[in-house]
Every structure is written in structure tokens, then in C-alpha cells.
Homo-oligomer: A and B are copies of this chain.
């Protein structure tokens, strides 16, 4: 993984399922190729294999279970991600919260399979706790930027800056991404200027009228 990184979470938006997942991933591949910026795509679970087999940007799952291979019906073990050629997984997204111990186990199991982890956290305190769990990246979603529609470039600078500093203080090997408030190139620039080593975004890309242009503008703002 090369930093700064732009991580695209497709969630389960209809605009990003099936063939759409492939199309949105190929756009990412083109922009990454043209600009040299690292771009990660996170398609929905059933699209992972198809996307990983057809595009050459790192593909992450949106979730992985802490259980190993074995008698666990409906589970998604890290080994499955490895077998399909993925590069890692998001963990503990605000739409898929996990038990403290399961986060710890999942991070360890990803690492044991040479896969990367992006741990999503909320406020400064949970972000610091998250850093202690030794994921590769932490995507901080400051409550001040979620649901309020406030963009990073318009928010008080200390919100992102402090979050980065607090996480680094607990574990300076963790790469901190800004996981909320990213709608345009100016937000990417602001996040990096404030110390983040990347951004995590979703609907702004998936639901854009021209996702490829938006992504190119963002990559150029890096």
C-alpha cells in the first residue's frame, strides 16, 4: 500500500452492485493508472471475486468475520479473502459494528493471512482504542462530520488534526484516513493537509453523475 490512499466503499448501493461494481472499479483502475495515486475499491461481498479477478487496484472486503475456516455457516473468514486475491478488509464500519474482542481477532486473522485492515472508528477515544488494536489503517469518522453534511474543507481544522495526533500517539505505525466529510477534491486536499494519509468515501463517488471525473479531480488534489 502506497500513501496517500483513496478508499472507495461501494456499500450495497444498487448503483454499485453487479456490473456496476465492475464499472466503478475499472474507473478507479484508470484513474490510478493515469495519476499514480493509490486507489482501493471495496465492492459488496458477492462482487468481490469478480472485481478482484478483473481489475488491478487493491480490492478490500467491506467486512470479515473473526472466525477461522470451519463449521461456521454464513461466516466470511480471512482465508476466503486471501483465496480470491483481495488485499484486505474494512472492519467495524458504523453500519457493521463489532465487539471489541472480535475486532482484535479479525485484525490478527487478516494479518496472519497477509491482508491489510482498515478499522473504522468514531470519536477520538474509540479511535485511540482502535489504534491499540494494531490495524494497518484507521478511518476516523468524527461525529462532528457525520450526518451533519459538513465537509472537511469547511469544518474546524482541529477536528481532523487532533484525531490524527491522538491516534498516532497511541500507535505511530497506524495510517490514519479521514472517513467522513469527503465530497470533493478540496476535502481530500484539506484532509491530507491536516495530517491524514488518505480518505474513505462512499456515496459521493457511487452516486456521482460522473464518478470518473470526480475521482480524477480528487486524485489530482492528492
Contact = CB atoms under 8 A, between A and B. Distances in A.
A27 interface: no
Interface of A: 9, 11-14, 17-18, 44-50, 61-63, 67, 69-77, 79-81, 83-84, 90, 92-101, 103-104, 108, 121-123, 125-126, 128-134, 170, 202-203
Contacts of A132: 125, 128-129, 131-132, 170
A188 B164 CA distance: 41
Nearest to A166: B132
Given A13-B69, A69-B12, A123 B97 contact: no
A192 to B, nearest CB: 24
Contacts of A49: 46-47, 49-50
A61 B73 CA distance: 10
Given A75-B95, A126-B133, 19 more contacts: A11-B71, A11-B72, A12-B67, A12-B71, A46-B48, A49-B50, A62-B73, A63-B73, A72-B95, A73-B90, A73-B202, A74-B93, A97-B99, A99-B99, A100-B129, A104-B123, A104-B125, A128-B132, A170-B170
24 contacts: A12-B67, A12-B73, A12-B75, A12-B76, A14-B70, A14-B79, A17-B77, A44-B76, A44-B77, A46-B49, A49-B50, A63-B74, A73-B93, A73-B202, A74-B93, A74-B95, A75-B96, A92-B100, A99-B99, A99-B100, A125-B132, A129-B129, A129-B132, A131-B132
